Amino acid sequence: MRNDEFRLQTVDRALTLLSHLNENDAPRQLRELAAALGLDKAVLHRLLRTMIGHAYVVQDPVTAAYRLGPRAHALGRRRDPADLFAVAREPMRDLARETGFSTFLTLPLARDTVCVDRVEAQTTVRVSYEIGRRLPYHAGAPGKALLAHFTPQRRSSTLGNRLLERFTAASIVSRTDLESELERIRRNGYATSTGEIEDNISGIGALIRDGNGEAAAALSISGLTAVLHETLFPVLGVRLLRAAQSISRELGAPPDAESPSTFEKEMPC
């Protein structure tokens, strides 16, 4: 049998269309695409509408021209999860240098979180956690940021029916108070903590997403509360959020995953 007997015409046309749009930076009109690809305009229009529905193609509302969509770009940017460390390393160094606070990368686990990388601040007095240290979800900025972005089902499964452990007087141990805190985190896009795990230690955490838009890790900074005090939270929180979003984009996360109100999953340290 000939190889082309196994080819699906619609799929073949879709891939040819994507390749054409990828090779031509300027948006293209329907008639231009039809001429370039040798397709009937009605057939091509149905194909384009289908691809727009999956965000592989977008259409300019003013010019009606077509170009590659965010899903197509995400495919090109997608990285292996092992690249997370390499992608996050430089932004972590930048954060530590620019903010003066130690920076941490944390992964989500079933019942708690684990710190997997760190860049220590080059200051005389600094906060540091050992790589491999496990921390809870309900206390501390990274854990709360992760928990805030879990789906409700995953959040329920993660917390279970266990009592929320109190580490300090500032720890949140009420489920109602925790839900209110998680809603605030979703609105802001980053989490904050003041003395929730250790007295006099504050932190800020933001979510990193992978190519599927799922939570891959948490980026956070920690410092002494006397230095990392609440008046700095808004400015440093936005700086941290932008760094986390930049890492997410490098991992191929879709653009719509960046809105603080749409976050839904993991984080720690």
pLDDT at res. 32: 92
Nearest to 224 by CA among 133, 135, 102: 102
> Does the fold of domain 83-262 match that of domain 3-77?
no
Residue 66: CB partners within 8 Å, gap ≥ 6? 21, 27, 28, 29, 30, 33, 48, 57, 58, 59, 60
Give residue for tokens 């795990």.
197
| Residue 248, token pair as written in the block | 């997410």
Phi/psi region, residue 200 (left: phi>0; alpha: psi -120 to 50; beta: rest), is left
pLDDT at res. 20: 87
Nearest to 204 by CA among 178, 240, 235, 170: 240
Q: What sign results for the dihedral spanned by CA atoms 186, 189, 192, 197? A: positive
pLDDT at res. 6: 57
pLDDT at res. 264: 36
DSSP for 111-124, written as a single string: SSEEEEEEE--SSS
- Consecutive 10-residue runs of the chain (269 residues): their mean pLDDT? 62 87 84 92 92 84 84 60 82 94 91 90 75 91 93 90 94 96 96 95 94 86 93 96 93 70 38
Quickly name the fold that domain 3-77 has: Arc Repressor Mutant, subunit A (1.10.10)
Q: Say how far apart CA 201 and CA 185 lie, in whole Å.
A: 19
- What are the two backbone dihedrals, phi and then psi, of residue 177, each rounded to the nearest 5 degrees? -65, -35
pLDDT at res. 267: 36
Q: Which CATH architecture has domain 83-262?
A: 2-Layer Sandwich (3.30)
Long-range contacts formed by 19-27: CB under 8 A, 24+ apart: 21/57, 21/66, 21/67, 21/68, 21/72, 22/68, 22/72, 26/65, 27/60, 27/63, 27/65, 27/66, 27/67
| Residue 267, token pair as written in the block | 């984080």
Q: Say how far apart CA 27 and CA 83 lie, in whole Å.
A: 32
Domain extents in the chain: 3-77, 83-262
pLDDT at res. 262: 37
